Structure 1
Amino acid sequence: MTAAEPLDLYRAATRNSARSAGFYNSNVRVDTPSGPMVVRIPIPGADVMDLRIWPEYQVLGAVASYVEHVPKLVHVSQEPMFQVYEFVPGDLLDDVAPRGVEVPRFVLTDVIELFTQLTRVPRDHLPPSPSWWPDDGDTAGFANILSSVTRDVWDRFQDEFASLYRELGVPSDPLEPVLEGWKTLHSRPFRLVHSDVHRKNMILCDGHVVFLDWELALWGDPVYDLAVHLHKMAYQPAEQDAVVRRWQERLPRELTAGWQQDLPTYLTHERVKSAIVDAVRYAKLFAVGGLSSQREKQLVRSLTGKVNAARAIWGHDRMFDDAKVEAVLRRRASG
């Protein structure tokens, strides 16, 4: 690839309206004579709702020799900011097996293999952590950083979205049960954690899974990575049991010590975080408009599940149905 070609790809990507987008980046397929590429472009002004400590391209460079199925990074540009990856052919897991549908059997195997491979990435192959990062094994310090990011989201949006939060039953101190749980966490050695392994970040390709989106990777507690995965995947009960069992069997014992007590604690944070963060994200999507009826139903169904999971933590007896959540979102969008 010559020096001019990446910019040509970038320009082609910016002219292309057919793109997939997460909350932080747009991904655009661009066909070239040597094959398709994906141009990954940051979304200007995206609300920061997650903990990020490293540039994604640095993480991918570090894991390439240790993690088998990751996208191949071709080019990185700082000005303008974008990355170029080789296109991964295949099907997004979320299209093949959305929430409520069992995943192909090999997916569970590949997920456990990923978590196992992450434990083998040497610390000195990864970028330096921020000066304020907790010492190895300080799981309570690590967890408190996670909840401080969620607290920041709550502090930034609680006034603007006060009526939305009130109607959804978010209490005045939604993180109180989370902070109580952090006090009892067991100490475990830190390892590389992906922090975002879910159906929309997994491509099924030639009988294996390619794992995408490494921008939320951290040096932290492996039990947290499992908790995020279980929370976002919403497995069927037998699938979840299989993942947890295999995870415990495959990872070194020192990395799983005390997981039975600490996994529910991390899940409590993820459920509270999802309600706080996604209520704002989905309300903004409804306010912008232009969503298909199917997409609206997907968002409503998703937020209903997330809000109800958090409401149980906050002590609410009554759960919401989709109609209630949709009405709340539409009131916010119209007002």
Structure 2
Amino acid sequence: MPPLSRPPRETRALFRNAGAALPTRHAALLERCVERRLRGPAQVLSGHHNTNHVLRLGLLPAVLVGAVPFARLKYRVPRETVEVVPRIWPREWDVLRVVCRFLPEVPRCLAVLGDNHSLHVYRGGTVLSDRGPHGRIGEGLMRQFAAFFARTAGIPAGELPPLPEDWPADGDSDGFLRRLVRFTEERVHRPHRPRFGTLFDAVGIPEDAMARFLRGLHPLTPRPFALLHTDVHRANVVVRRNRIAVIDWELALFGDPLHDLATHLVRMGYDKEEQARMTALWAEAMTRAGRAELTAALHDDLGAYLAFEYAQSVYPDVLRAALALPPHATADDFHAAAHRIGHALSRAREPLRLVDVPPEPHLIDALRHWHDAQNNPATPR
């Protein structure tokens, strides 16, 4: 009798591709097993886009998906959230099917249940943010991040899922960034203005913020496009035995690699010295990998992507800070929300051409007025 720690060879072959489709009867069995596990105690990891339940499956359901019986798995349930980037591939497992062939450390998607719930391999280790949300990470990890970006850029474009028909052409870096700006205005700012417009105005975000950003944007140098993760920050990095694995690929894009570098530099919380060092390591890794063309006009154009990251983040930061306020918010709740908004406005001051950033008492007062109006519709706005 074969050892129970490995599924039969034919089952492993059937499900070795991420997100493999299960026969109907097997999918129903797996869903029942997962539902039973969710009723019991389980570790829950929540992010902006998904709620992740860490669970273990018994022998039969584990064999069905090609997993080790009773090993930890991750069950991902999408959350309603603020869109901040275009989702050109709505199904994360379509991207993972390709990524995991080239980046074997990335946890695979084992099965898709229902419309958009999915079961993944659980990557053990320490989430980098658990070591500390701020502070230096060291040269060794920075070199690993640089290598990760070079490896990701090397994934063949022809292997990726189809792109939207109106997506910018390969190498149109200027069109790519302008597409991101247009998305921010049309899908993040405008749809939320009916509910949050008074708050946007009160905290000092100009109604023409994205137009202001575009007025200061210089034409970008064309660079070949590549697969981008777009959200490489501490909470999306698992470290095990001093090796990193980048998880959560639901926001992946195909575009200018400088955008991936810029979001990483900002969201990791690097100081100026670390940003410069990470940029140099990124360029070295790309050149060593034979992709020096991706570094064209690096120091001229990286600033534009950094400025965009600071400019666009004012919207999700204000939205999330406001939505995080409980119905009976305390002074501490308002202080924390105002601090978050003030930080976002300070970073966006130059790209949005803001005259000044309101002081924290003003931000708290703006949040209180908005919060009162939301929780007591009779309150004058």
- One of 196, 202, 205 as aligned partner of 2:237: 202
Deviation of residue 46 (structure 1)?
3.3
What CA deviation, in whole Å up to 9, does each residue of 1:223-271 have, x standing for no partner? 1111111121121233222110111112122111012121111112111
Of the structure 1 ranges 131-140 and 320-329, higher mean CA displacement relative to structure 2 is found in: 320-329
Find the counterpart in structure 2 of residue 73 from structure 1. Answer: 109
Deviation of residue 276 (structure 1)?
1.5
Find the counterpart in structure 2 of residue 90 from structure 1. Answer: 125
- One of 310, 330, 335 as aligned partner of 2:368: 330
- One of 280, 283, 291 as aligned partner of 2:322: 283
When normalised by structure 1's length, the TM-score is: 0.89
CA 1:16 to 1:129, structure 2 compared with 1: closer, same or farther past 3 Å?
Answer: farther
Find the counterpart in structure 2 of residue 309 from structure 1. Answer: 347
Q: Which amino acid aligns with 1:265?
A: A
Find the counterpart in structure 1 of residue 98 from structure 2. Answer: 62
Paired residues of 1:140 and 1:182 also in contact (CA < 8 A):
no
Number of residue pairs matched by the alignment: 331
Matches of 1:154 and 1:315, distance apart in 2 = 17
Secondary structure at 1:160's aligned position in 2? helix
Find the counterpart in structure 1 of residue 177 from structure 2. Answer: 143
Give RMSD over aligned pairs.
Answer: 2.5
The answer on 1:127 being equivalent to 2:157 is no
Matches of 2:247 and 2:35, distance apart in 1 = 20
The answer on 1:233 being equivalent to 2:268 is yes
Find the counterpart in structure 1 of residue 76 from structure 2. Answer: 40
Find the counterpart in structure 2 of residue 185 from structure 1. Answer: 220
CA 1:110 to 1:188, structure 2 compared with 1: closer, same or farther past 3 Å?
Answer: same
Matches of 2:329 and 2:107, distance apart in 1 = 31
The answer on 1:262 being equivalent to 2:287 is no
Deviation of residue 218 (structure 1)?
1.0
Deviation of residue 325 (structure 1)?
3.6
Gaps in structure 2 of 5+ consecutive residues: 1-6, 8-25, 59-69, 374-381
Secondary structure at 1:312's aligned position in 2? coil
Of the structure 1 ranges 113-122 and 298-307, higher mean CA displacement relative to structure 2 is found in: 298-307
When normalised by structure 2's length, the TM-score is: 0.79
Find the counterpart in structure 2 of residue 165 from structure 1. Answer: 200
CA 1:59 to 1:46, structure 2 compared with 1: closer, same or farther past 3 Å?
Answer: same
Of the structure 1 ranges 315-324 and 20-29, higher mean CA displacement relative to structure 2 is found in: 315-324
Deviation of residue 332 (structure 1)?
2.2
- Identity within the alignment, %: 28
Q: Which amino acid aligns with 2:105?
A: H
Q: Which amino acid aligns with 1:239?
A: E
CA 1:216 to 1:292, structure 2 compared with 1: closer, same or farther past 3 Å?
Answer: farther
Deviation of residue 133 (structure 1)?
1.0
Deviation of residue 49 (structure 1)?
3.0
CA 1:155 to 1:17, structure 2 compared with 1: closer, same or farther past 3 Å?
Answer: farther
Of the structure 1 ranges 257-266 and 305-314, higher mean CA displacement relative to structure 2 is found in: 305-314
Paired residues of 1:112 and 1:247 also in contact (CA < 8 A):
yes
What CA deviation, in whole Å up to 9, does each residue of 1:149-187 have, x standing for no partner? 101211111232122111221112001233235551110
Matches of 1:330 and 1:277, distance apart in 2 = 18
Q: Structure with the greater relative contact order (CA < 8 A, sep ≥ 6): 1 or 2?
A: 1
Find the counterpart in structure 2 of residue 19 from structure 1. Answer: 44
Paired residues of 1:39 and 1:82 also in contact (CA < 8 A):
yes
Secondary structure at 2:102's aligned position in 1? coil
Deviation of residue 104 (structure 1)?
4.1
Matches of 1:290 and 1:93, distance apart in 2 = 30
CA 1:330 to 1:148, structure 2 compared with 1: closer, same or farther past 3 Å?
Answer: same
CA 1:192 to 1:95, structure 2 compared with 1: closer, same or farther past 3 Å?
Answer: same
Secondary structure at 1:263's aligned position in 2? helix
Paired residues of 1:196 and 1:229 also in contact (CA < 8 A):
yes
State which structure, 1 or 2, has the greater radius of gyration over its C-alpha atoms: 2
CA 1:47 to 1:119, structure 2 compared with 1: closer, same or farther past 3 Å?
Answer: closer
Paired residues of 1:271 and 1:306 also in contact (CA < 8 A):
yes
